[in-house]
């Protein structure tokens, strides 16, 4: 591979890491902080991606739209739309046990995928949506950067922003209540906290972050189809990333995104190089098996992940004092 090829690969690699890291931070808000089990990440991811795509693309004979709003409007729309879906699901399942939330989220994700695949007027169905512009590509070209590099910079900036916000949230009194709910719900309720409300807030914030990830994906990749939102890519990898990195710990979510994406994309090389002629079709399922087995090994041997959650200083101090 030439130098430019390697550079292009690295840009794409880190862009995906950035997008997945954002999804993992969103999941951490729900699962890591609050113990809410969202197994329909792909659904929120898709809502964000399609909302932004519909808002920003030029007119097309194949689907609704032609609004041609700027990139940032698309992002804001994506965040709002996925937050609304999160609000709906969260409100329905707020009083129910975790398993119902899990089933409801996968239900909404699969239903959304059916809608995307079947409602051609809205999304062009399985043929997909194209012509989604990369963010600020004119600007980046003017300063001599490729649009892909520009996307990476934009993704990195959003990741930094999300990371800053979720870290602040974690250390805030709000974040402490969330963890208290996760650790001991009855005691927190007894302390006069409105559990359902805190839970719902965390769920909606997490969903909004996932929607943001979806918008960034749409604008980087430039093309959307229901295939991209299968539970494998949208949901499963994010879960493995968070659990491998260390749920409850935002740094762990970042690290997990890097490690798991490295393994996932690296396995593609290994498989295409290592599998004999005629067996390359098995690469896909074998990679899934690899990641699936990795998850089980982590759950059995190191369920707290590479970077376990530490009790934040404020609580530790409080206990000592």
Partner 1 sequence: MTDVYILIELLQLSIYGIVLGSILTLGAIGVSMIFGILRFAHFAHGDLITVGAYVGMGFLMMTHAPVWTALPAGMIGAAIVAVLIDQTVYKRIRRTQPVILLISSFGIGLILRSLVQVIWGPNVYSFPGGIQRPWMVWELAIIPNHLWILLAAVVIVTALHLFLTRTRIGKAMRAMSDNMDLALVTGIPAERVIMITWLLGGALAAGAGVLLGMDSRLTPTMGWNILLPVFAAAIVGGIGRPYGAIAGGMLIGLAMEISTLFLEPSYKPAVAFLIMVAVLIVRPQGIFKGAW
- In the complex, which residues of this chain contact partner 1 (CB under 8 A)? 35, 37, 39, 92-93, 95-96, 98-100, 102-104, 106-108, 110-111, 114-115, 117-118, 232, 235-236, 239-240, 243, 281-282, 284-286, 288-289, 291-293, 295-296, 299-300, 303
Q: Compute the least distance from the CB of residue 96 to partner 1, in Å.
A: 6
> 15 or 93, CB closer to partner 1?
93
DSSP 34: T
Closest distance to partner 1 from the beta carbon of 89 (Å): 9
Nearer to partner 1, 229 or 239 (CB): 239
Question: CB-wise, 111 or 131, nearer to partner 1?
Answer: 111
**Alpha helices of 232-282 — where are they, by DSSP H?**
237-245, 250-274
Q: Shortest distance, CB of residue 34 to partner 1, whole angstroms?
A: 12
CA distance from start to end of the chain: 60
| Min dist. Cβ of residue 187 to partner 1 (A) | 17
CA distance 4 to 297: 37
Whichever of 91 and 157 has its CB closer to partner 1, that residue is 91
Q: Which of 75, 8, 16, 57 is nearest to 220 (CA)?
A: 16
Least separation in angstroms between CB 118 and partner 1: 6
Q: How far apart are CA 109 and CA 207, in angstroms?
A: 12
Residue 100 or 139: the one with the smaller Cβ distance to partner 1 is 100
For partner 1, give the closer residue by CB, 299 or 311.
299
Report which DSSP code applies to 234: I
Residue 165 or 232 with smaller CB distance to partner 1:
232
Taking the complex as a whole, the smallest distance from the CB of residue 253 to partner 1 amounts, in Å, to 15
Q: How far is the CB of 55 from partner 1 (least distance, A)?
A: 25
Neighbour count for residue 204 (Cβ, 10 Å): 22
Contact 178, 198 (CB under 8 A): yes
* Rounded Cα distance, 180 and 187, in Å: 8
Q: Is the CB of 4 or the CB of 296 nearer to partner 1?
A: 296
Least CB distance from residue 20 to partner 1, whole Å? 17
Q: Which is nearer to partner 1, 148 or 232 (CB)?
A: 232
Q: Token match 């250390």: residue? A: 171
Beta bridge partners of 129: 224
Q: Please give the C-alpha separations between residue 24 and each of 29, 42, 159, 242, in angstroms, as whole numbers.
A: 9, 12, 11, 6
Range list of H helices, the chain:
3-27, 41-56, 71-93, 98-118, 120-123, 137-142, 147-171, 173-183, 185-190, 195-221, 231, 237-245, 250-274, 283-301, 313-320
Q: How far is the CB of 244 from partner 1 (least distance, A)?
A: 12
Q: Cα–chain-centroid distance for residue 285?
A: 22
């Amino acid at each position: 591979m030439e130098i430019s090829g390697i550079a292009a690969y690295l840009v794409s690699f880190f862009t995906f890491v950035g997008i997945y890291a954002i999804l993992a931070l969103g999941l951490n808000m729900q699962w890591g902080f609050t113990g809410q089990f969202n197994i329909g990440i792909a659904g929120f991811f898709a809502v964000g991606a399609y909302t932004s795509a519909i808002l920003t693309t030029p007119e097309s004979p194949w689907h609704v739209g032609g609004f041609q709003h700027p990139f940032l409007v698309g992002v804001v729309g994506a965040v709002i739309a996925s937050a609304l879906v999160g609000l709906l699901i969260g409100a329905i399942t707020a009083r129910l046990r975790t398993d119902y939330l899990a089933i409801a989220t996968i239900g909404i994700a699969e239903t959304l995928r059916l809608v995307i695949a079947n409602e051609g007027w809205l999304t062009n169905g399985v043929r997909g949506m194209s012509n989604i512009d990369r963010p600020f590509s004119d600007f980046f070209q003017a300063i001599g950067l490729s649009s892909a590099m520009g996307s990476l910079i934009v993704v990195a900036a959003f990741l930094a922003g999300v990371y800053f916000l979720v870290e602040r949230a974690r250390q805030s009194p709000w974040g402490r209540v969330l963890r208290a709910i996760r650790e001991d719900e009855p005691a927190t309720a007894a302390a006069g906290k409105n559990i359902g409300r805190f839970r719902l807030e965390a769920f909606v914030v997490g969903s909004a972050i996932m929607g943001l990830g979806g918008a960034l994906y749409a604008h980087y990749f430039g093309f959307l189809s229901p295939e991209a939102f299968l539970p494998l890519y949208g949901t499963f990898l994010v879960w493995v990333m968070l659990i491998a990195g260390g749920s409850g710990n935002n740094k762990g979510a970042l690290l997990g995104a890097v490690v798991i994406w490295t393994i996932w994309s690296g396995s593609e090389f290994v498989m295409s190089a290592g599998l004999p002629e005629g067996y390359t079709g098995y690469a896909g399922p074998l990679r899934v098996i690899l990641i699936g087995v990795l998850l089980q090994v982590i759950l059995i041997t190191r369920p707290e992940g590479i970077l376990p959650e530490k009790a934040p200083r404020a609580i530790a101090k409080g206990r000592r004092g």
